[in-house]
Amino acid sequence: MREGGDIGDGVTALAATLRERQQEEAEARARQEAALKGSKHRLQDARRASRHKKKPAEELLGYLEYTALQPHQIRDVAAYRPRSYNLDRQIADLIGHLFVRYPVPGFLYQACIDARKREGAAPEDPFGYMHDLYRDWFVTLAQGGSFPRAVKGVMTAKEAFEFLSSGDPNRLVHENVWLAKMKVAGVPRGLHGLLLERILALHYFDDPGGRLADLIRFYARCHAEMGRRTLLEVTDFLAWKLGNDRAFSLKGRTAGSVVKLANEWHLLIQKARLGANVEWDGFDRPYWSLRDGRLLWEVVELRNNQELMNEGRKQKHCVYSYVDWCAAGRCSIFSLRLWGLTVAGVDEAGNPAWGKSDERARVTVEVTADRSIAQVRGPLNRPATPEERAVLGQWAGANGFIFRSLRW
């Protein structure tokens, strides 16, 4: 018995030693992490202190395109006194001190800064080589020249007014030119961001052939004839077409003709991709069903390109064109289906076992990334019936989805 007790004591002692060693190692790691964390914080503090201190004017000049601007200088560098500790503010104040008599939109200050010497400055400008022109605009405004005359051939007088009065300080200069053109043409404000991000921001405003001017006129004239989804599909098509087909123009085209071209293009894209399997996670909601006597409602999430193609063929609508959107996480597609039930046998307890027989109805549901139900459509794009709407309401409530102003 004593031998067993000795062994037990030895195991206990060994376990205690291991626990002590593990505790010591944990304490050592904690000290190392604390030291590293402290070092990291000290480095960050040093960088922050370097950034948030008042710099002499001579040092700030290094951030400017000073050689190009110097002929327009109206005040002495030595007279400048920084008022802010923020580096961006100091640079802007120095530009204002040296060159500005009259107000200039903040986004035009970008043209005065040498972006190669700045960290965290304005976003990279794909047309930075045009900053010489932008600096001319800046100086014209800053020193009381005629801006409409300076931008003649680029903007009309109305567009120049919009450019100056309602430009977006977070946009690049060429993007604000496009914004001004869209506002004057009558493109709805809700489409400005979409057209900039998908098409216009990728192009300079010289617009050879006037194809982008035709694009803006098309949206101003035809936007009301297209629903939200159609607008997005048409925009995807036009973004590709204008970037890849130099002969393509919107001049004289109607909304109907462009929608037809867009649908044909989306169909070709999806047919080309059916050879490969495209899958996405979607919302990955659990199976949901609702029993109503001898009827069964169920909702299925479609999570690959083949399922979307089958749904589109069954319903005779264009849900197959949603593949890119679903794969990118911008929306997800669900299918609400109504089945008849029939007795398929008996279970172990002797009760009737019900099985699905024939499909009675089906509607396709689009849910956007923010969990909003954006569109509900039956075969041939028919609206949902009151009964289908009621069932969808129960399903949405169970899954945290919300209805918004949508196309039933």
Q: Is the pLDDT of residue 121 over 50?
A: no
Q: Is the pLDDT of residue 201 over 80?
A: yes
Integer Cα distance of 241 and 221 in angstroms:
20
Specify whether the CB–CB gap between 133 and 119 falls below 8 A.
Answer: no
pLDDT score, position 245: 84
Residue range(s) defining the domain that contains residue 17: 1-45
DSSP bridge pairs for 356: 341
Q: Is 62 part of any domain?
A: no
Q: Is the pLDDT of residue 185 over 80?
A: yes
pLDDT score, position 22: 60
Give the count of domains, the chain: 2
pLDDT score, position 354: 83
Query: Sheet of 331-346: strands edge to edge?
Result: 288-292, 295-302, 331-346, 352-368, 372-377, 402-407
pLDDT score, position 30: 57
Average pLDDT on 357-367 reads 93
- Residue 274, both tokens: 């059916």
Integer Cα distance of 89 and 77 in angstroms:
16
Q: Is the pLDDT of residue 288 over 90?
A: yes
pLDDT score, position 68: 94
Q: How far is CA 245 from CA 67, 211, 222, 238, 281, in A?
A: 41, 11, 22, 10, 34
Distance of CA 60 to the CA centre of its chain: 35
Integer Cα distance of 219 and 101 in angstroms:
39
Q: Is 327 part of any domain?
A: yes
Q: Is 18 part of any domain?
A: yes
Stretch among 2-11, 215-224, 272-281, 306-315 having the lowest mean pLDDT: 2-11
* pTM of the predicted structure, to 2 decimals: 0.60
Specify whether the CB–CB gap between 177 and 163 falls below 8 A.
Answer: yes
Average pLDDT on 104-131 reads 78
Comparing CA positions, the residue from 115, 129, 120 lying closest to residue 62 is 115
Neighbours of 40 (CB within 10 A): 10
321 pLDDT tier (thresholds 50, 70, 90): confident
Letter for the amino acid at 4?
G
Q: Is 328 part of any domain?
A: yes
Q: Alpha-carbon Rg of the chain, whole angstroms?
A: 32
Quick: pLDDT tens for 228-278: 889 988 998 999 889 878 889 999 999 999 999 998 888 777 776 666 788
3 pLDDT tier (thresholds 50, 70, 90): very low
Comparing CA positions, the residue from 161, 230, 232, 141 lying closest to residue 194 is 232
Q: For the stretch 263-279, what's the b/e string if a residue is b when 16 or more beta carbons lie within 10 angstroms of its beta carbon?
A: bebbeebbeebeeeebe
Q: Considering the chain, what percentage of its residues have pLDDT values greater than 90?
A: 55
Q: Is 10 part of any domain?
A: yes
Q: Is the pLDDT of residue 131 over 80?
A: yes
pLDDT score, position 4: 41
Q: Is 244 part of any domain?
A: no
Residue 151, H or E segment: none
Q: Is 331 part of any domain?
A: yes
5 pLDDT tier (thresholds 50, 70, 90): very low
- Bridge pairing between strands 372-377 and 402-407: parallel
DSSP bridge pairs for 332: 367
Stretch among 15-19, 78-82, 158-162, 272-276 having the lowest mean pLDDT: 15-19
Average pLDDT on 7-29 reads 52
Going by C-beta distance under 8 Å and a sequence separation of 6 or more, which residues neighbour residue 78?
Answer: 57
Q: Is 163 part of any domain?
A: no
pLDDT score, position 127: 83
Average pLDDT on 17-22 reads 57
Integer Cα distance of 324 and 217 in angstroms:
27
Average pLDDT on 163-179 reads 94
